[in-house]
Structures are given as structure tokens and as C-alpha cells.
Structure 1
Amino acid sequence: MGHSVVFWSPVPGQTGTTTNLIAVTTLLGLDYSSRLLLLGSVQSRRAAIEQAFIKRRTQTGDELAFAADSGIDALVRLTQNRKLTAEMIRDYTLPLLKDRLDLLHGSNKADKAFIPGMKEVLYPLLDTAKRYYDLTLIDAGSGMGSGWTQALLQNADLVVISLNQNRTVLERFFQQQEEVQKGKKQLFILGQYDRHSAYTAKNIARKYKVNVPIYPIPHHAGFMDASQEGGAIDFLFRNRSVPRDHENYIFMQSVHTLAQAIIEQAGLNKPSFGGKGG
């Protein structure tokens, strides 16, 4: 049985949640010979994820035809009709790395139309996905105002919480942390990380009495640019083994470290998950 990993932030647009999700999922796909499913479920979350892998020149024609009868909308219909099986899911995805990483297109419906109908099918859909995929990684957006976000957090096996070095964001989150998901396995990321800030990972852990590791992921303009042009996989493939003196080493090492932490927290750090691939 696989695990669901939900990426979430208490604030919108400040912590690099989606970028971190794209980076770590892709690197897991490159480094490990296991089955991964990536999902930006609602319409408002799908664009950034899909543009990271689909080049602009291919976002017409065949891609649009593919999207019309695929993605989460198709799986929802099958789930509602009780016809979805674990082996069928990959037929409705876009393979990004053969036999390793599949992208499930987000909904073509507006969020307000999509979310209400998902309440009854979310759990059976994710449960079915976990029977085929080792990890299902989902972008849950930000804040707690959406019932959809709350449902994703409640159904997650592991919640990856994206924070930053903003004092106001940190204090507000750690004061209200119990509201997120008490008892859930959690990892903390410091997105857009600046190592020259006084709010280092160690200082934040000390100040707010965080007793689990915090994983800093620095801002990286090169990866951001690549992700906007459909080149996320190419960028990470080229840079995943760069030497220590390379300009991209710190970013890549940070993503590697987070990927390993996710595997360990999900309880998948064993041979059955699939060793490092070539």
C-alpha cells in the first residue's frame, strides 16, 4: 500500500510550495525506481505544475485532446460509477518518466464546480491510487479556508508544510499549529531560503521549539525559469550530480535531502520502495 504526501502552506504565494513539490517529486522519479503520481487537483493549482513539464509548443492539439478525456475528472466519473481500479489510473495520466512518474491532470472545471462533488469520492480515489503508486504527491494550496484543503490534509499520510523566514508567518503558524493536523506526520520546509537571514533553520527551530528537522530549500532562479518553460525534468537531470563547487550544488543537495526525508517519514526507506535508479 502506498502513501499520500500533501504539500501545503499557511500563506499563499510566499513559500514556494508548488515549486518545492515539483522539484522533490521529479528528483524522486529520477533517483528511485518506484511508482509516483503527481497531482495538482483543482484548476487553480494545475497550471503551475503542468507548465513545469509540458513545453508551450505542445500545449495545443494532442495535449488538449489528451486532457479532454483524462485526468482527475475522468477518474472522478469512474469512481462515482464504481468502475475505477488501481491498474486503470495510469491510463488517464501523462507519463513523465517511464514507469516511474505520472502526472494526473487537474480538473478542467472551475474550483467552485469541482470541489463540492469531490467530497464523497476523495477518499476512495486516493485509496485506489495508493494501491498502484508508492507515493501520491498532491498540491493542497494554502490556508485553511477551503474545505478541499482540509479534506486533503485529513486524508494525508504525510503533510509537508512550507514556511518561510518571515517572522509574522512563523509566529502565526506556530501559535495555531494544532489546527493544522494534530497527530499527522509532518515535515517542515523553509522555502525561498536565504542562508544570510537571521532566521536560519536552526534559529527558527530553537525559537519556536520545533523538535523535528526543518528543511531549507533556497530560491533558485534557474529552476524557476526552467519550470515556467516545461524544462523541470531536464534541469534536475542535468544537475542532480553536480560537484560541490558548482553553482547549483546547494539547491540540488537541499532537494535531495528533502526527498530522502519524505521517503523515511513515509516509511518507504526499504528495498521494496526501489533503490536508486540510473
Structure 2
Amino acid sequence: MKTAFFSNVSGKNGVTSNIACISIMCAMEYQLRSMIIENHSNLNSIENAFVRYHEHYLVNEDYYYFNHIGIEAVIKKLHSEKEDDNMIESASKKFLNHYIYYLPQSHTMNKEVLEFQLNEVISRLLEKAEQCSDITFVDMEGKVNLTSRAILEEADLVVVNLSQDIRIIRHFFEHYQALIPKAIFLISKYDSRSKYNVKNIMRKYHISKENIAVIPYNVEYKDAISEGKVIEFIARNYNCKEEDDNYTFIREVRHATDILYQKSRNYQKEVLSV
């Protein structure tokens, strides 16, 4: 299932951090294999959330340049029509016993060139990714770039990442009505004390409880993101007790993942019935 994580603003609605925790929970809770792709080059990458800084530093650059991993290697194969059945897997970094595949960002290609070349092959790339995963997550850039429209059109599900800022919420519902039929909503950095709590958002914008979840603000998770320790954080707190400081965060991530899982099951049933 092709799943686009989308936000109508850049850098405020937690797209990358939400993909990170939900992809991990998909693996741990449901043994779903996911492929993560980014349609942009950015310092705040999934890789930086999964890999500690000192481990980045220790990686020999030759690993990237001569072993042909990452999205740049896949783009080149697709452009040269030298694609093969396992090219996505071989170009990916693997996490959690190969339940999470991640196509690293380009270390050499100019950002504008990357976007242009990715745009020419995005449909085939998504098709290849879907063949080797249960769910393909696309971490989309906040601003609209060349591939955004194609990804949103091809996505089977759009996870709309919002914050408790009424201007951002209103902007989405005024400008992106076309996405709503295949959307679920994640309210990032959630604080139940806000006037714009989930019940009020559901009531005002007519969102059913099956299509909305929250990711609470959690300072320890925020630190884990910046330190490349997200997998360790989720694993360590996976079975935490109700009295634990991280219990609410894990409970809500589990709930958000369950919504995504149910959408995935429904999608599979629809595919099989065709």
C-alpha cells in the first residue's frame, strides 16, 4: 500500500518523526515490512532518526559511492532501464531485522537535479517499492515540489500531518479538499489541554474517529529523534506500564498504527476482490 505522509507546511507538523515511530510500530506490532522513501533532500532525514551520529561518522564514504546504495542508485538504474527485481532491497539500508527498508538520500546529487530526475521515474519507483514491502511510506516535502502531485495521485492512503494551530488546520481544509476521501489525520505534538483538541477538530471538520489519531508531544522522543535513537526508544518503552512517563506516547502511537493497519487490511481486501 502506497502511503504518503503529507503536511501543508514545512518543518512544523512532524512528518519525519511520525513516519519513524509508526514504521517501527508496524514492524513490532504487526510484523509489517515497510519501505521508506523521501522525495526531497533534507538534514532531518529518517536515517538521522535511526542511526546515531557517531555511527554516521564511522561509515566510510566509499560505502555510498562504490556500493551504489540509496535513491540516487535506484534513479540511475531506472533511467538506464537496468532495473532488476531486487534493486530496491539492495539499494536500501535495513533496520529491525529487515522489517524496515530505507532508501538513503543522495550524498552527491544536487537537490534540484535529484528532484528533476526523481520526477521522471517516480511512478516506476513506487511500483518497485510496493513489490517488496507491505507498506511504502513516502516522506513528502512540506512545500510542493516536482514529484508531489504524482505521489499524492498515486497514493492509496494519504496521512495528513497537522498541528494544533488553527491557521494550519484551516489552510489544509480550504486548499486540499481533494485529498480528504483517502486521508487519515495525525495531530502531531499533541497537547490535550489545547482548545484545538481532537474532539473539537473531529466535530468542526466532520472527521470520524476511525480516521484520526494523535502523536503526543514527548521530550524524550524528541531527544531520541535528534540523537538517532528512535528504534531504541520505541523498543525500550514498547511494554511500558501505565505509570510510566512514556506510556501515553506509546499508547497513542500504537493506536495510530492500528488505524493504518486497518486501512492496509481493507486495501488488501479491495485488491484481492478486483
Q: Taking structure 1 as the reference length, what is the TM-score of the superposition? A: 0.88
Shift of 1:209: 2.4
Shift of 1:258: 0.9
The 1:99/1:14 distance shift into structure 2, 3 A limit, reads: closer
Shift of 1:54: 1.3
Letter of the 1:206 counterpart: R
Cross-structure match for 2:272: none
Partners of 1:123 and 1:270 lie apart in 2 by 20
- Shifted more, 206-215 versus 185-194: the winner is 206-215
Cross-structure match for 2:18: 20
The 1:252/1:221 distance shift into structure 2, 3 A limit, reads: same
Shift of 1:208: 2.1
Partners of 2:75 and 2:27 lie apart in 1 by 25
Secondary structure, aligned partner of 2:120: coil
Cross-structure match for 1:274: none
Shift of 1:111: 2.2
Instruction: Give a deviation string over 1:167-191, Cα, whole Å, max 9, x none.
Output: 111122112232xx44752110111
The 1:19/1:183 distance shift into structure 2, 3 A limit, reads: closer
Q: 1:235-250 residue pairs with structure 2 within 5 A?
A: 235-250=233-248
Are the counterparts in 1 of residues 115 and 145 from structure 2 also a CA contact under 8 Å? no
Partners of 2:89 and 2:18 lie apart in 1 by 24
Partners of 1:80 and 1:230 lie apart in 2 by 33
Give structure 2 stretches of 5+ with no counterpart: 270-274
Shift of 1:76: 0.8
Cross-structure match for 2:56: 59
262, 265, 268: which one aligns with 1:267: 265
Are the counterparts in 2 of residues 194 and 218 from structure 1 also a CA contact under 8 Å? yes
Shift of 1:199: 1.0
The 1:152/1:203 distance shift into structure 2, 3 A limit, reads: same
Are the counterparts in 1 of residues 39 and 141 from structure 2 also a CA contact under 8 Å? no
- Shifted more, 5-14 versus 24-33: the winner is 24-33
CA root-mean-square deviation? 2.0
Are the counterparts in 2 of residues 71 and 93 from structure 1 also a CA contact under 8 Å? yes
Secondary structure, aligned partner of 1:27: helix
Instruction: Give a deviation string over 1:203-251, Cα, whole Å, max 9, x none.
Output: 1111122345321111111011111111110000000111112110110
Report the count of equivalent residues: 265
Q: 1:218-229 residue pairs with structure 2 within 5 A?
A: 218-229=216-227
The 1:153/1:222 distance shift into structure 2, 3 A limit, reads: same
Cross-structure match for 2:165: 166
Partners of 2:85 and 2:219 lie apart in 1 by 38
Correspondence 1:89 to 2:88? yes
Cross-structure match for 2:125: 125
Partners of 1:127 and 1:207 lie apart in 2 by 37
Q: Taking structure 2 as the reference length, what is the TM-score of the superposition? A: 0.89
Letter of the 1:126 counterpart: L
Select the structure that is richer in helix. Answer: 2
The 1:184/1:126 distance shift into structure 2, 3 A limit, reads: farther
Identity of aligned residues (%): 26
Letter of the 1:110 counterpart: N
Secondary structure, aligned partner of 1:146: coil
Partners of 1:59 and 1:74 lie apart in 2 by 19
Are the counterparts in 1 of residues 40 and 141 from structure 2 also a CA contact under 8 Å? no
Q: 1:99-138 residue pairs with structure 2 within 5 A?
A: 99-108=98-107, 109-138=109-138
Partners of 1:58 and 1:268 lie apart in 2 by 39
The 1:259/1:64 distance shift into structure 2, 3 A limit, reads: farther
Secondary structure, aligned partner of 2:57: coil
Instruction: Give a deviation string over 1:47-66, Cα, whole Å, max 9, x none.
Output: 43111111111213535333
209, 213, 232: which one aligns with 1:234: 232
- Shifted more, 229-238 versus 95-104: the winner is 95-104
